[in-house]
């Protein structure tokens, strides 16, 4: 199924359960190879990137199986750090195996990881940080070779709060001899989830949830039974889907505690968000009121992964808003498709656009160019008059378990083809 067809104009109503977090599940699955004992990772989303990661783990010698609501992984037979090209191509998250495999095997051979084209996202910071811990790198024939005679702890001061670099350091540090300190660590909930899983396995990590992490390395890790938290980006997507259609929905299991900046933005635009133990009740208005500006920032700021969806909502709001992207330089690839649907968006430079709300959008044949931009086009299609057909939906399925099913449960006229 590579396309999604939507007949817009339906107000979303009802209840939808939020899937497990993609951005938490992938590094946790990578971390499962650090112990020879089996782990059960529950609430993993059944999405393309998770299946790719499981295929990659299987190719390395792991025993992998779905059991009830979880994935059982036993990495007792891993003996090689050579990762096949076909399992890595197009999956940026495979990069987190760099720290994990170095910690487990002392060496890694891998292709340059891929993923969505939303910015250059160089891996220099990852290589530099692991180099501080005794890892030597070489590049030859388009492949990256990493080797560590003995991993050792280090004091690492990150110049930017990189989620991926923080995760890679954590995965190597729990296996290294001595203590590692990460100053300027990313504070995202996905990093916290990885720390919690490693702690369940027996790792000693202090400062979880802060920008200063201390890892006491060298402890023998055991298997663990761990539940992946709900996906804050999926919850935000469906919240914005409610807003763009003027609907009323209940986001079951939505992680409200991780969504402060998103909820504040929604409420500033006239949406009422009521928190409950089981999730979030969302009651929106026919046309949202646009704030003067929004800016993406590392957590706890407004997430870059929801910027495209917020932009889609703003296209039909009242007023105008400056949208500033401070994380990735190619997050505005969705602008032209939204313009084709009738949106009034002016590109000021590579990091800023000005959106002026219009009363209506029109359905079009369009194409998803990356994961989050594709989800934004789905939201625009929910509001647009007529039919919207989106090609290239393989990108969308990398992050959403079944976006068409979920939106149909809320009344949308949408099918995957």
Question: What are the catalytic residues?
Answer: 116
Q: Is 240 helix (H, G, I), strand (E, B) or coil?
A: helix
Q: What is the dihedral of CA 225, 230, 234, 235, to 10 degrees?
A: 170
Q: Give the Å distances, CA to CA, from 321 to 185, 242, 283, 291, 412.
A: 31, 20, 22, 6, 27
What is the full DSSP assignment across 306-367?
GHHHHHHHHTTSBSEEEEE--S-TTTTTTHHHHHHTT-EEEEEETTEEEEE--S--B--EEE
C-beta of residue 205 within 8 angstroms of C-beta of residue 176: no
Question: How far is 209 from 359, CA to CA, in rounded Å?
Answer: 42
Sheet with 63-67: list strands edge to edge: 63-67, 70-74, 39-42, 225-227
């Amino acid at each position: 199924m590579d396309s999604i067809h939507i007949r817009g104009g339906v107000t979303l109503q009802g209840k939808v359960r939020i899937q497990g977090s993609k951005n938490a599940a992938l590094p946790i699955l990578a971390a499962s190879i650090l112990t020879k004992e089996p782990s059960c990772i529950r609430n993993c989303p059944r999405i393309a990137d998770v299946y790719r990661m499981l295929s990659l783990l299987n190719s390395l010698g792991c025993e992998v199986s779905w059991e009830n609501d979880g994935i059982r992984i036993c990495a007792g037979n891993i003996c090689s750090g050579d990762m096949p090209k076909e399992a890595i191509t197009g999956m940026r998250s495979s990069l987190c195996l760099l720290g994990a495999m170095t910690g487990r095997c002392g060496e890694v051979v891998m292709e340059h990881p891929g993923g969505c084209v939303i910015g250059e996202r160089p891996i220099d910071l990852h290589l530099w940080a692991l180099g501080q811990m005794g890892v030597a790198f070489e590049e030859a024939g388009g492949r990256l070779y990493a080797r560590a005679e003995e991993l050792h702890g280090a004091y690492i001061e990150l110049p930017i709060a990189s989620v991926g670099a923080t995760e890679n350091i954590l995965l190597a540090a729990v296996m290294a001899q001595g203590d590692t300190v990460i100053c300027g660590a990313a504070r995202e909930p996905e990093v916290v989830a990885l720390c919690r899983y490693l702690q369940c396995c027996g790792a000693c990590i202090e400062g979880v949830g802060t920008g200063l992490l201390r890892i006491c390395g060298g402890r023998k890790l055991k298997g663990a039974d761990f539940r992946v938290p709900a996906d804050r980006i999926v919850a935000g997507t469906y919240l914005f889907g409610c807003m763009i259609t003027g609907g009323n929905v209940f986001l079951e299991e939505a992680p409200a505690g991780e969504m402060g900046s998103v909820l504040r933005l929604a409420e500033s635009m006239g949406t009422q968000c009521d928190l409950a133990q089981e999730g979030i009740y969302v009651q929106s208005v026919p046309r949202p009121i646009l704030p003067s500006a929004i800016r993406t920032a590392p957590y706890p700021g407004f997430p870059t992964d929801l910027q495209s969806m917020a932009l889609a909502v703003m296209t039909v709001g009242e007023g105008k808003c400056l949208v500033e992207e401070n994380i990735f330089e190619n997050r505005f690839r969705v602008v032209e498709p939204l313009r084709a649907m009738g949106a009034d968006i002016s590109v000021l430079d590579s990091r800023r656009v000005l959106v002026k709300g219009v009363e209506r959008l029109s359905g079009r044949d369009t194409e998803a160019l990356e994961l989050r931009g594709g989800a934004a086009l789905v939201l625009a299609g929910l509001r647009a008059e007529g039919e919207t057909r989106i090609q290239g939906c393989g990108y969308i399925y990398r992050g959403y378990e079944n976006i068409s099913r979920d939106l149909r449960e809320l009344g949308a006229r949408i099918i995957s083809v």
